Amino acid sequence: MARQPQAQHSSPLPEPATTTGGPALQESSGILTIDLGAIVANYKMLHARVTPGECAAVVKGDAYGCGLDQVTTALTRAGCQTFFVAHLSEARRVRAIAREAVIYVLNGFSAAGGQGFVDTYARPVINSLIELAEWDHFVAATGFAGGAALHVDTGMNRLGLSIEEAAAIAAHIRSESHHIALLMSHLACADRPDHPLNDQQIRQFREIRSLFRGISSSLANSSGIFLDASTYCDVVRPGIALYGGNPTPGKPNPMKPVIELKAHILQVRNLAKGASVGYGATWTAKRDSRIAVIAAGYADGVSRAAAITDGAKPREVLVAGKRCRMVGRISMDLIALDVTDLPVSAVRRDQMVTLIGEGLSVDEVAAQAGTISYEVMTGLGHRFHRMWKA
């Protein structure tokens, strides 16, 4: 894929180091540690898998909650040359670091935001015939040569031109003034290898690619990379796999874990048999118990959706290396844990407990909460002290 010209020379990136952000540790809910070295290792593994094709990086949603600036810096240093974001505001931040990268904006083009694409030298992903008409008019009026991607819907049924629409404009797109640098689609069920929609989308994208010869193409997301080589095309676009999420559900995770989340204990208290915990009294002690209350809640991204009730599937936290169950409803700032089975000396005020990490993976945490790792990671609040390890 051709690189765009740059008016400014890139400056050397800073050497890797452990950095911190957010509130001071002693003033925070806890600590979120992001292993940038693991992100780089995951990127290199995925890149090697699809070589000689290109491996881009999806860094939308603050790099899936891992820090857009820090992750972009690490991946640029690792050789990543193409980034995908959702919004122009994210593209601006990527451009400030990756001065010579190609940056695609997934949420499309509007005439009102045209100058932003010029300012950042970013490429919109064209998602409809209306956007394409506005894009063509903008290019003709401004002479902007930054390029764009054309998104064809092969079965996701969200954004994108239909197969019929894409086929009808193929001859126009191949003209010298099209400024379309990438043809792309998005797999809906790649995390379920046996789903029939995968073969349907791969076949349809292969057919539409034949009408756009000479233009680079992209289909595979994280899970798509692990289907087979028919999804690779010219560029793959991993997202969650870069950040340690399992792109092969039901199988061992091939990716290195990236995040560790800890919160501190505010209080340890004794609870008599028959006493309840939290709003709504949804959990009642069936024995004399000890409860540890920790400084994290739904304001920090710990999902409240699955209320913790008597008989419910346990949601767990590691205390002194042992799994302990959350009890009562999760509130805005607090979670209660049943630590009755741990020695009294093993649980104390100000001790850190692990919500993600030490074998409690982000995918398992998500499953316990009835959601997915994407939501867990992007929802982690900014009341945590953050540490990025090189």
The closest alpha carbon to 362, from 29, 34, 97, belongs to 34
Domains of the chain: 53-243 (3.20.20.10), 259-389 (2.40.37.10)
Average pLDDT rounded to a whole number, residues 104-129: 96
Per-residue pLDDT reduced to its tens digit, 223-238? 999 999 999 999 999 9
Average pLDDT over all residues of the chain = 92
At 20 the pLDDT is 87
At 76 the pLDDT is 98
At 62 the pLDDT is 97
- Give the contacts of 284 (CB within 8 A, at least 6 positions apart): 274, 275, 276, 277, 310
Residues noted as catalytic? 60, 279
Give the pLDDT band of residue 1 (cuts 50, 70, 90): very low
Q: Tell me if 176 sits within 8 A of 151, measured CB to CB.
A: no
Per-residue pLDDT reduced to its tens digit, 241-274? 999 999 999 999 999 999 999 999 999 999 999 9
Average pLDDT rounded to a whole number, residues 93-102: 97
At 196 the pLDDT is 96
At 309 the pLDDT is 75
